[in-house]
Structure 1
Amino acid sequence: MSVHHAVLEATGIEKAYAHGLWPARHRIPVLCGVDITLAPGEVVGIVGENGSGKSTLMKILVGLLTADAGTVTYTGRLGYCPQEPVVYERLTCDEHLELFGRAYAMTREAERRARREIYTALGFEHYAGTRADHLSGGTLAKLNLGLALLADPEVLLLDEPYAGFDFDTYLKFWDLVGERRQTGRAVLIISHFVTDEERFDRIVDLRDGRAVPR
């Protein structure tokens, strides 16, 4: 794939963590030269066991963590759905989406339109006025995904996005992914398991610190 057509490209990503106490302190490598490329309209899955470095890689891709080596480049906006929702307990779903809309510099009209579409697509409009600390785990997962989708990002990065979904929401999730693919948006999904391989354009295994295509 030509890098000129990539919306996200990570090259030679390395990361190690210090372990133990001095003088026996040593570094344990987690990522050992990972390469990932995403093209417009591509849905890619990264699969690995717990401890394989999936979330570390995701945090490096979105800029929350600095790699020891390697580069990450992307075009357009990134949307990030972390494994653990990052929300404000006292804010409602509406208030979260409005707050994130302002952070994305969206117009009020664009934010409201996107908000309505997200509520409808994921089916949690009844919780628009409910505070985050009163939401069930499944509805919190919907809000988490909705915040990542709000600004219609060119690249959507999802870390275990459907862990809290029931089957109906799981299917709605894939409808959303399909719509993004059709409009040329790229989606990267990190998970410890994949049951519907046919929904992905490519699946990459994170193994021994490297990305291995299936």
Structure 2
Amino acid sequence: MIFNSEHIAKSFGRNKVLKDVSFKLDAGTITGIVGENGSGKSVLMEIIVGIRNADKGTVNKNGRIGYCPQRAMLFPHLTVQEHFIYFSVAYGIDKELSKRRSEELLHHFNYKKYQQEKIINLSGGTQQKLNLSISLLHEPDLLILDEPYNGFDWDTYQRFWDYTNHLKKRGCAILIVTHLLSEKERLDHIYELENGILI
């Protein structure tokens, strides 16, 4: 088991966003959490990653974590390549491995031609490719994706699922959080977040 949570609860004032959330993620599985906008999905993700604390409950994680937030955390005046260098240092990846991994991801998601472009000059879809690539750079054991394919064209969408299946075979546990899940057959488990509870 890569991850499990027990009885997570979170409130903002009188608004109980999460009431009693318990679930687990096993190695080599893809799990989906769906829910309407405002249902608390992003709050749950931030608790899992460690950005936000729960009011109650426990979270246990094993291995390296990759997180692709819904809003890309990018620097507008750095280039794509400079982002790879920056996050490689943050992850503790040496230069040789960083170069190999960045080349693999640029090639797989088909945006190598933008390698030297500043983020401010890129389309939203290309920025999202980089956002996803950063979460994959250090080969995580647990990958958490919050609305990961926003802005993707059809080719990139297919490349996303190809890479996700590769990670699954490698033993990565993958959690996809979205308000819309059209290809349910690709997932091993699906939960719905409704009224602060996972169903």
Q: TM-score, normalised by structure 2?
A: 0.99
Residue identity opposite 2:185 in structure 1: E
- Moved >2 Å (runs of 4+): none
In the other structure, the counterpart of 2:12 is: 17
Alignment RMSD: 0.6
Whole-angstrom distance in 1 between the partners of 2:58 and 2:142: 17
- Structure-2 residue corresponding to 1:40: 27
**Does residue 1:66 correspond to 2:61, yes or no?**
no
Report how far residue 51 of structure 1 moved. 1.0
Q: Which residue of 2 aligns with 1:7?
A: 2
Q: What amino acid is the match of 2:23?
A: I
What SS is found at the alignment partner of 1:57? helix
Which deviations, in whole Å up to 9, do the C-alpha atoms of 1:129-172 show, x marking residues without a partner? 00011110000000000000000000000000001101110000
Shift of 1:208: 1.1
TM-score by length of 1: 0.92
**What CA distance in whole angstroms lies between the structure 2 residues aligned with 1:110 and 1:178?**
22
How far, CA to CA, are the matches of 2:114 and 2:93 in structure 1?
A: 22
What one-letter code is carried by the residue in structure 2 that aligns with 1:131? K
1:22 is matched with none
Identity value in percent: 43
Report the AA paired with residue 180 of structure 1. L
Q: Where do 1:184-199 residues align within 5 Å?
A: 184-199=171-186
Distance 2:73 2:20 in 1: 29
Q: Which one-letter code corresponds to 1:36 in the other structure?
A: F
Q: Tell me the distance in 1 between the aligned counterparts of 2:71 and 2:81.
A: 20
2:87 to 58, 78, 100: 100
Name structure 2 gaps, 5 residues minimum: none
Distance in 2, matches of 1:206 and 1:74, equals 21
Q: Which runs of 5+ in 1 are unaligned?
A: 1-5, 19-26
Name the structure 1 match of 2:125.
138
Deviations 1:83-121 (A, max 9, x none): 000111111000001110011101111111100110011
- The 5-angstrom pairing of residues 131-170 of structure 1 reads 131-170=118-157
Higher relative contact order (CA 8 A, sep 6+): 2
Look up the match of 1:56: 43
Between the aligned partners of 1:109 and 1:51, the Cα distance in structure 2 is: 42
Partners in 1 of 2:7 and 2:122 — Cα distance?
40
- 1: CA distance between counterparts of 2:158 and 2:186? 11
How many aligned positions are there?
Answer: 199
Residue in 1 that maps onto 2:170: 183
Task: Summarize deviations over 1:14-52 as a string: whole Å, max 9, x none.
Answer: 00112xxxxxxxx11010010120000010000000111
The structure number with the bigger radius of gyration is 1
> Aligned residue for 1:208?
195
